[in-house]
Amino acid sequence: MMMVKIAVSSDNHFDLNKVPLTETISQQAEYLTDQQIDYYLIAGDLFNDFQKSADYVQRLSSQVNSTHVFFIAGNHDMIRGISYEELENGRWPGYLNNQFVDIPNTDYRIIGLNGWYDYTFAVNEDKTEEEFHRWKMAYWIDGLISQPMSDLDRERIVINQLRKQLQNAESAHKKVILMTHFVPNQHFIHYTDDFRFWNMANAMMGSIQFQNVINEFQVEKVIFGHIHQRLDPIKIGETTYYNAAVGYHNRRHNEWQTDDFISEWENQLKMFEVF
């Protein structure tokens, strides 16, 4: 067995943060190389445009020699430049949705799954599916994402994909590192008595069913994004969860603890080793 070093990040939001991309890619490549990172995993929300996200991954990959770069799409990446069918079936270098990569000379498999939601995290809002959907289309950025089915049907597809991927990994006797964008455990959902916007937004955070499948298969490690909190890795049951969201730095939302992107990205980066 060999030691493999993995770094994870999410929610870089390069466009919303007005990041100078060419300079930043060079800085990231240098840091990943200096840290001797073998796999760099990005759990979505690079740009508000999938094609820009895919192009960024190719550019970064071309500047690192020994680091394998993989990504999935977050809801922001899905807003433009991509259809639902392309998200599901398209192939871009490093794009890992409903795909897996086995880490050579280890027992580990990296599985990527964009994910979605089915409103089940909004447990303190007594609303119908139609009411949640109407709210989403009026107030939530995901209303810009085209899809040929309901959110509940879309999440059912995701759950079936997740179960199949985990069954295949189990049959292959692989330990799983699962990368998804949406929130994979209700532990991370914030409920409030005085700000109903976020109680409604919780409907678009993830799925209790997704969480249940993770628990059923006792997935070892889960990487996710979507929420922009400053979270240390935490073990819940048999699963260790990693959130490495960089988040927003602008006039409306300032979630950073530093003043420049690279410092914030380095501080938020989560690293671990597998053997």
Domain ranges of the chain: 4-274
Output the pTM of the full model: 0.98
Distances, alpha carbon 56 to alpha carbons 26, 38, 53, in Å: 11, 18, 5
CB atoms within 10 A of CB 23: 11
Q: Which residues of 117-129 are buried (b: 16+ CB within 10 A; e: fewer)?
A: bbbbbbeebeeee
CA torsion through residues 33, 34, 39, 45, sign = negative
pLDDT in tens, 167-223: 999 999 999 999 999 999 999 999 998 768 999 999 999 999 999 999 999 999 999
CB atoms within 10 A of CB 39: 20
pLDDT in tens, 145-170: 999 999 999 999 999 999 999 999 99
Per the CB < 8 A criterion, the answer to whether 10 and 230 are in contact is no
Distance CA 58, CA 69 (A): 9
Report the run of H or E that residue 41 belongs to, with start and end.
strand 39-42
Distance CA 27, CA 38 (A): 17
Ranges of residues in the chain whose predicted pLDDT is under 50: none
Distance CA 258, CA 236 (A): 29
Which candidate, 112, 151, 148, 111, places its Cα nearest to that of 129?
Answer: 151
Per the CB < 8 A criterion, the answer to whether 108 and 174 are in contact is yes
β-bridge partners, 249: 254
Q: What was the pLDDT predicted at 1?
A: 63
CATH 3.60.21.10 fits 4-274, yes or no: yes
Strands 175-180 and 270-274: unpaired
Q: C-alpha angle 4/26/100, rounded to 5°?
A: 35
Per the CB < 8 A criterion, the answer to whether 143 and 201 are in contact is no
